[in-house]
Structure 1
Amino acid sequence: MNTVNKINEKLKGLISSLLSAQSDNGAWNFCFEGSIMTDAYMIILIRTLEITDEEVLVNDLVERIKSRQSPNGAWKVYPDEDKGNLSATIEGYFSLLYSGYVAEEASYMRKAERFIRENGGLAKSDWLTKMMLALTGQIEWPSIIKIIPIEIMLLPKWSPISIYQLVGYARAHWIPILICSNLNKSFVTPQTPNISHLQERISDSENERILAEMQNLQLYFKNALEKLSESPEVLKQKAFIKAEDYIIERIEENGTMYSYFSASFFMVFALLGRGFNIKHPLILNAFKGMKSYLCRNADQVFIQNSPSTVWDTALLTAALQQAGVPHQHASIMKANNYLFSRQHQKYGDWAIKNPDVTPGGWGFSDINTFVPDIDDTTAALRAITPLARTENHFKEAWDSGVEWVLSMQNDDGGWSAFEKNTDNYLLSLLPFKYEDRVLFDPSTADLTGRTLYFLGEYTTIPQESEIFQKAKDWLQHNQEANGSWYGRWGNCYIYGTWAAITGLKAIGVSNHDPRISRAVKWLLSIQNEDGGWGESCASDINKRYIPLHQSTPSQTAWALDALISASETPTPKIELGIQALLSLLEADDWRSTYPTGAGIPGGYYIHYHSYKYIWPLQALSHYKNKYDR
C-alpha cells in the first residue's frame, strides 16, 4: 500500500473517531493533564475549608498522587526528569499527609521526606510552592515576598514597576498572594500537618545574596510610595480594597478567578485573609467551579488547571476541514456554532495596553469570558473562515477577530500570548527562576509563527505589508545559531521551529531563504532513527535542545508539517517521518502521553489528551493535500 493510501485509511479512522467523540453542544471535551500540583492543592483546599462531604474526591486524588510517585520517593513534572522535582515532591508529600489517609511512617513517605532533605528542603522549592507553604503555616513568608508592599496596587500603570507590568495570568496569582503576605496570614486547622522540620537553614552567604538582590527593589518601592500623598495607614487600606476589587472583578461565571484553578486556589486564601467566612458564597462558588475541573475521561480522575475545550475544539474543527470534512457537515456546523458562541464580548486585562480596539478574541476554556489569547483566536478564526465567506454573523465575528489579532502585534514585530508589549525586564529585579517567561509575556516564535500562518493562509494581507516585514525581522533576530527557534508554550524547539517555518512559508518566504533552509537542516539533523521526532521537557529548563531519544506523535507531526511546508516534493526523510507517525498512531504507550505542552518552565508541563489526534490529523492532511495531485 502506498503512502497516500495509508494516509487516507488513517484519516478515515481519525475522522470517524473524532466525530463520534463530539459533545452535543459541538465542542470536544478532551482532558488537560498536568502534574500533581492541582490534585495536591485541591486536597489542601478541602482540608483548609474543613469540607466534610468530599471524601470520595479526596480518596481519588490521594490514589492518583500516590500512583505518580517514583521508586526513589520523588515526584516528577515530566517522566524523564532527572531524579525528581523538589517542589512537586513537597506538594505530593504535604497533601498526602493533610489528606489524613496516609501515615507519615509509610515507607514511601519516608523516601519522599529523604528526597526533600537531600535536595535542600522547603527553602529550595519554587516560588508557587513556597507561597502554598507560607499560607498553610509551614514556613514564614519569604522576605522577598514580604518586601513587595500591597501599595504596589496604587502605583500608576505607567510606573516603571507596577502590578500592571506583570502579565495578567501572573497578576492573577500575585495579587491574592500579596494580600496574604502583607497581612502575614497563614491558615492552620487541627488537621494541618507540620512539616516545618524539612525547612533547611539558609546559609549566611545565600541570605546575604538575597538581601543584596532585594536592596534596589526595596529602595524603589520606598521612593515610589513617598510620592503618594496620603498617610501610610490610609494608603494601605486603599491598596487592600483595590486588590480585593481586582480579584472580585475577575471572577468568572463558574466562580473561578481568571478561569484558572491555581489562581482560584490563592484567591480563596486571599478572601479568607480579608475576613470572608469559609461559607461565603464567593468561596463556596469558587470551590464548586474548581471542582468542575475534575477530569474523569481518563484512567484516574485528576484536576485540570483550566479545561482546554475552546483550544481543542478550534484546532480539531480546522484540522477536520483540512482533512476533507466539508464546512457544511453537521458536526462542523455544530462546532463552529459553539466557537461563535465563545467569542469574547468583554474587555479584559489585554485592553490595559491595547485600549483602542473592541473585543474579538477567544479564550482557552469554555468558561473563559475575558482572558482571550492569540493562539486560541487564530485557531478559532481558521475554523470559521469558510463560514465567514457566506454567513454574515460569522463574517462579523471573523472581522472583529482579525482586527483584534492585528492590534495585538507587539512593537518589536512579534506576537505574545495574552497581552501587548508586556516585557518589562526591570522586574527581573525579583529573583525568581524563569521570570522572563513567567512574569512577562514577550513575543515568542510559536505565537508569531502561528499568527503569520493564519494571516498568510486565511487573509488577503499583502505579503509585502509592514505587518509581515516586522514579524519576519523579529523571527530572523530570534532564530537560534543552530537554525531552530524556542517555543514557549509547547515542548519546545521542535514546536517553535515548526511554527516559525510554517508561518514564514505562509507569507511567501522562499524555501531557499537562509531562515528556512537553516531551520529545515536542523530539523533533519535531529530526526530519530525510527523516522520520528521527540524532545525532552528538559529543553525548556536548559534553554537548549535536549533529545527525548524516543518519538512522540505530536512532535513528529510538528516536524513533518514544517518539512512538508518547505518541500515541493515528498523527500525520503519526509516519507520516513510519515511511516513513523502512522506507526506511532497505532501504539498505545507512554510516547502518546508524554507532556508536549508547556506551562511553567521547570514546574508544570501538560499532556493534552487531544494532541495525539490534532497534530497528526493536520500533518497527514497537509501531506495528502500537497502531494496527492
Structure 2
Amino acid sequence: MADATDALIGLQNPDGHWVFELEADATIPSEYLLLMHILDEIDPDLEAEIAAFLRAGQGRDGGWPLFQGGAMDISCTVKAYFALKAAGDSLDAPHMVRAREAILAQGGAARVNVFTRILLAQFGEVPWRAVPAMPVEIMNLPDWSPFHIGRISYWSRTVVVPLLVVMAHRLRARNPRGVTIRELFLVPPEQVRDWNSNLSRSAWGTFFRAMDTALHAVQSRFPAKARRQAIERAVAFVTERLNGEDGLGAIFPAMVNATLMYHCLGYSPDHPAAVTARESLKKLLVRKPGRTYAQPCLSPVWDTAIICNALLEAGGPAAIDAARRGADWLVDRQILDVEGDWIWKRPGLEPGGWAFQYNNAHYPDTDDTAMVVIAMQRLDAVRYAEPIRRARNWIVGMQSRNGGWGAFDVDNQHEFLNHIPFADHGALLDPPTSDVTARCVWMLTRLGEGRDTVPTRRGLTFLEREQEKDGSWFGRWGTNYIYGSWSVLEALSAAGYSRSAPEMARAANWLLAHQRADGGWGEDGASYWPGQPHGEGPVSTASQTAWALLGLMAAGRVDDPAVERGIEFLIGNRNSDGLWTEEPFTAVGFPRVFYLKYHGYAASFPLWALARYRSLKG
C-alpha cells in the first residue's frame, strides 16, 4: 500500500491537483477529425495520428463499440468509417471492407442516431429532412413553455442551443477532398421515407412524430424577425457561457457546436469568440506516441477529490500533506460569484458548488461538490469551514421534490421530452439518481446532519425507494449496479444503518453473490440495457473490485472471506508502479449511448479500499 500511496503522490501536479486522462469511444476523435474537414482546417499530422488511434480501436466484428469489449454501435462505426475515409484510407483496405460490411449488415447508415444524421446532413450525405425539426425559434419560448430550454439538462442545453443555429443555417461542410460515404446506404438517402423508424412507438412518441412532420412543413414560413431574434438569443446564451478556453459547458459536443455556430454566422477565424471556441477544443487533445485522441472533457476536480479521500484513508504524514495541498487547490475552484442555470429553479440560492472541470462556472454539480466536501471535512473541518458551509447550503438547496439529487439541475424530470424524435438517445434529462443522492446524503452525515434532519431523511427515503428488487442500486454515472450499491451503502452506513438493516443486508448479499472466481468484481456497459444481467462482465476490474469491497465494508462485512479474497485480488494485480491499470470502461456518460474510462479510477479507488481494510482490521 505504501507503494501505491507514494505513486499517487508522485502524480500530483505542483499546484496540488491531479488530473488523469478521460477516454470515450471512437465518436469523439472521429468528430474532431471530421470537424477539420467541415472547416477546411486540416492538420495532416494530427489527422494521421487520430486515424491511427481509430484503426487500433476497431472491434473483431468490424465495427467500433461504445465501450471496450462491447458489440459494435452503428452510429459510432459510421463516424469512424467516415473519419478514416476522410483521412485517406482506401475503400479496399481490409479494415474498411470489414467496417462497411458490418454497417450494411445492420441496415446501413440510414439506421444511425439523430446526432450522426445531423453530421451527415452537414456533409450532404443525407437530406435535412432526415433530421428532426428543431426550430431555432425555441429560443423565443417563454419560461412556462413545456419546451423551454430550462426543462432539459445542462449538457443538452449547451449542446442544443448552438446546434439550433447550425441547423437553421443548414450548414454545409467545406469538405475540401469531396469525401462521400454513399456506399454505406442500402437505399439511396433521398429515397428513405421514414427516418424515425428506430424510435419508440409510445403514445408520446406518436404524438411528437406527428408534430415533427408538421414542423418540417411549416418552419420555412416562420417570420424572419422571429428567427433573427431567436438566433440573437442563442448567440447571447452561448457567448455568455463560452467559459474561456475551457469551452462551452466544458464538454466536447457543446464546444464543437459553438465553433460551428460562429462559423456558419460568418465570424472571422480571428474573431475573439471564434478563436476561444476553437482553442477550447485543442485543450482536450491527448497526443502521445501511437495514441492521439480527443477527450470528451477534463476531470481535475473529480480526480483530485477522489484521490484526496483515498490518501486520507491511507493516512501518514506524506499522504495527509498531499491531500491538504489538493484541498487548498480545490478551495480556489469553488464557484462563489456566478449564478448558473440552476438559479432558474432556485432563485436566491447562494452559489457554493464545484464543477467537474478546471472552469465551468455556470454548471457546478452536486456529485463533485459532495465528494470535495467529504474530503475537506475529513482533513480539517475548521480550516475549510467557510467553503464547507457554502457548499452545504448549495447542496441542500439543490434537493429535488422527491428527496433525491440530480447532478446539475433540480426537478429535471420532464420525461415526455425524451420522446421527441430529436431525443432518440434518451438522455435529454438530469433526474435524481441513487448514486448522486447517496453522495449528498453521505456528505450531510459527515457534517453531523443525521437521520433526524429533514434533507438527510428525505434523501434516505429516496434511496430506500430506489433499491432494486435484487438488493442492488442503479449506478447512473459509474458502471453500474456495483457502483450504485457501493455509493448507497456508504451513505447508509454513515447515516447509522446497522448491518442487519434490510437495505444493508440485501445489498451486501447481492455484492457477495456477484464476486468472480478470481476474487474480483466486474460489470460492463451491457448491464444498462433492459433484460441484461446486473453486476456481470467478462473480466474483473480493479476499480469495480474496490467499489464492491468498500460497499461490503460499509455494510459491516469486513470479516467475510469474500472481502479477504477481494483484497488479495487487488494486491496481486498491481502494476510496476504499485498502482493498477485496467482496459475496460467502468463509467458512463449516458447509458446505452456514451461510455467513459476514467484513467484515474484504477489508480485511486483500490488504494482507498486497501486502506479501509487495513484500518478496520487494525
> What TM-score results when the alignment is normalised by the length of structure 2?
0.91
**Secondary structure, aligned partner of 1:542:** coil
- Who is 2:148 aligned against? 162
Q: Could you say if the C-alpha distance between residues 222 and 190 of structure 1 is closer, same or farther in structure 2, counting changes exceeding 3 Å?
A: closer
Q: Could you say if the C-alpha distance between residues 498 and 564 of structure 1 is closer, same or farther in structure 2, counting changes exceeding 3 Å?
A: same
Post-superposition shift, 1:529?
1.1
**Secondary structure, aligned partner of 2:588:** strand
- 1:14-73 CA distances to partner (integer Å, 9 max, x unpaired)? 110111111111111211111122211111122222225x32222211111111112442
Q: Could you say if the C-alpha distance between residues 568 and 70 of structure 1 is closer, same or farther in structure 2, counting changes exceeding 3 Å?
A: closer
**Secondary structure, aligned partner of 1:186:** coil
Post-superposition shift, 1:200?
3.9
C-alpha distance in 2 between matches for 1:329 and 1:425: 45
- Who is 2:163 aligned against? 177
Post-superposition shift, 1:434?
6.7
C-alpha distance in 2 between matches for 1:471 and 1:205: 44
- Who is 2:469 aligned against? 481
- 67-76 or 372-381, which deviates more: 67-76
Post-superposition shift, 1:358?
1.5
C-alpha distance in 2 between matches for 1:327 and 1:60: 39
C-alpha distance in 2 between matches for 1:143 and 1:42: 23
CA contact (8 A) 2:417 2:423 kept: no
C-alpha distance in 2 between matches for 1:467 and 1:509: 17
- Who is 1:451 aligned against? 440
Given residue 329 of structure 2, which amino acid in structure 1 is its aligned partner? Y
C-alpha distance in 2 between matches for 1:325 and 1:370: 37
- 268-277 or 340-349, which deviates more: 268-277
- 1:402-431 CA distances to partner (integer Å, 9 max, x unpaired)? 111111111101111111111101213314
CA contact (8 A) 1:153 1:162 kept: yes
- Who is 1:310 aligned against? 301
- Who is 2:513 aligned against? 525
In the TM superposition, 1:481-500 aligns within 5 A as 481-500=469-488
CA contact (8 A) 2:399 2:410 kept: yes
C-alpha distance in 1 between matches for 2:192 and 2:83: 28
CA contact (8 A) 2:444 2:456 kept: no
Give the alignment partner of residue 111 of structure 1, picking from 79, 93, 98.
98
Given residue 263 of structure 1, which amino acid in structure 2 is its aligned partner? A
C-alpha distance in 1 between matches for 2:115 and 2:365: 23
2:341 paired with 1:380: no
Given residue 564 of structure 2, which amino acid in structure 1 is its aligned partner? E
Q: Could you say if the C-alpha distance between residues 272 and 617 of structure 1 is closer, same or farther in structure 2, counting changes exceeding 3 Å?
A: same
Give the alignment partner of residue 575 of structure 1, picking from 536, 555, 564.
564
2:361 paired with 1:369: yes
Post-superposition shift, 1:89?
0.9
In the TM superposition, 1:240-255 aligns within 5 A as 240-254=231-245
Identity, in percent, stands at 30
- Who is 1:7 aligned against? none
C-alpha distance in 2 between matches for 1:304 and 1:283: 20
C-alpha distance in 2 between matches for 1:206 and 1:271: 28
Given residue 500 of structure 1, which amino acid in structure 2 is its aligned partner? V
**Secondary structure, aligned partner of 1:254:** helix
Alignment RMSD, CA only? 2.7
CA contact (8 A) 2:418 2:429 kept: no
Give aligned pairs, total.
Answer: 605
Post-superposition shift, 1:542?
3.2
**Secondary structure, aligned partner of 1:607:** strand
C-alpha distance in 1 between matches for 2:360 and 2:541: 30
Post-superposition shift, 1:598?
0.2
Give the alignment partner of residue 51 of structure 1, picking from 38, 41, 44.
41
2:258 paired with 1:271: no
Q: Could you say if the C-alpha distance between residues 434 and 187 of structure 1 is closer, same or farther in structure 2, counting changes exceeding 3 Å?
A: closer
Post-superposition shift, 1:516?
1.3
**Secondary structure, aligned partner of 2:132:** helix
Given residue 627 of structure 1, which amino acid in structure 2 is its aligned partner? K
Q: Could you say if the C-alpha distance between residues 525 and 71 of structure 1 is closer, same or farther in structure 2, counting changes exceeding 3 Å?
A: closer
C-alpha distance in 2 between matches for 1:475 and 1:298: 46
- Who is 1:550 aligned against? 539
**Secondary structure, aligned partner of 1:79:** coil
Q: Could you say if the C-alpha distance between residues 161 and 475 of structure 1 is closer, same or farther in structure 2, counting changes exceeding 3 Å?
A: same
Given residue 459 of structure 2, which amino acid in structure 1 is its aligned partner? A
2:313 paired with 1:352: no
**Secondary structure, aligned partner of 1:614:** helix
- Who is 1:8 aligned against? none
Post-superposition shift, 1:208?
7.8
**Secondary structure, aligned partner of 2:548:** helix
Give the alignment partner of residue 603 of structure 2, picking from 610, 613, 624.
613
2:274 paired with 1:287: no
- Who is 2:223 aligned against? 232
C-alpha distance in 1 between matches for 2:375 and 2:444: 13
C-alpha distance in 2 between matches for 1:312 and 1:351: 26
Post-superposition shift, 1:347?
1.5
- Who is 1:419 aligned against? 409
2:125 paired with 1:138: yes
C-alpha distance in 2 between matches for 1:60 and 1:299: 7
Post-superposition shift, 1:537?
0.8
Q: Could you say if the C-alpha distance between residues 247 and 205 of structure 1 is closer, same or farther in structure 2, counting changes exceeding 3 Å?
A: closer
Q: Could you say if the C-alpha distance between residues 497 and 330 of structure 1 is closer, same or farther in structure 2, counting changes exceeding 3 Å?
A: closer
C-alpha distance in 2 between matches for 1:413 and 1:518: 22
**Secondary structure, aligned partner of 1:440:** coil
C-alpha distance in 2 between matches for 1:428 and 1:145: 13
**Secondary structure, aligned partner of 2:573:** helix
CA contact (8 A) 2:481 2:535 kept: no
Q: Could you say if the C-alpha distance between residues 231 and 36 of structure 1 is closer, same or farther in structure 2, counting changes exceeding 3 Å?
A: closer
In the TM superposition, 1:505-520 aligns within 5 A as 505-520=493-508
CA contact (8 A) 1:327 1:386 kept: no
- 1:190-242 CA distances to partner (integer Å, 9 max, x unpaired)? 32411134234487677689799666347879999xxxxx9833222111111
In the TM superposition, 1:71-86 aligns within 5 A as 71-82=60-71, 84-86=72-74
CA contact (8 A) 1:157 1:165 kept: no
C-alpha distance in 2 between matches for 1:462 and 1:326: 31
2:604 paired with 1:604: no
CA contact (8 A) 1:446 1:488 kept: yes
C-alpha distance in 2 between matches for 1:192 and 1:469: 61
C-alpha distance in 2 between matches for 1:492 and 1:517: 19
Runs of 5+ consecutive residues of structure 2 not aligned to the other structure: 216-220
2:314 paired with 1:323: yes
2:455 paired with 1:463: no
Post-superposition shift, 1:344?
1.1
- Who is 1:5 aligned against? none
- Who is 1:3 aligned against? none
Given residue 94 of structure 1, which amino acid in structure 2 is its aligned partner? F
C-alpha distance in 1 between matches for 2:210 and 2:557: 60
- 206-215 or 512-521, which deviates more: 206-215
**Secondary structure, aligned partner of 1:366:** coil
- Who is 1:407 aligned against? 397
Post-superposition shift, 1:543?
6.5
Given residue 497 of structure 1, which amino acid in structure 2 is its aligned partner? S
C-alpha distance in 1 between matches for 2:509 and 2:289: 39
- 131-140 or 340-349, which deviates more: 131-140
- 1:285-304 CA distances to partner (integer Å, 9 max, x unpaired)? 22222111122468612211
> What TM-score results when the alignment is normalised by the length of structure 1?
0.90
**Secondary structure, aligned partner of 2:452:** coil
Post-superposition shift, 1:145?
2.1
Q: Could you say if the C-alpha distance between residues 285 and 569 of structure 1 is closer, same or farther in structure 2, counting changes exceeding 3 Å?
A: closer
C-alpha distance in 1 between matches for 2:14 and 2:100: 47
Q: Could you say if the C-alpha distance between residues 276 and 204 of structure 1 is closer, same or farther in structure 2, counting changes exceeding 3 Å?
A: closer
C-alpha distance in 2 between matches for 1:205 and 1:251: 37
CA contact (8 A) 1:388 1:398 kept: no
CA contact (8 A) 1:256 1:286 kept: yes
**Secondary structure, aligned partner of 2:339:** coil
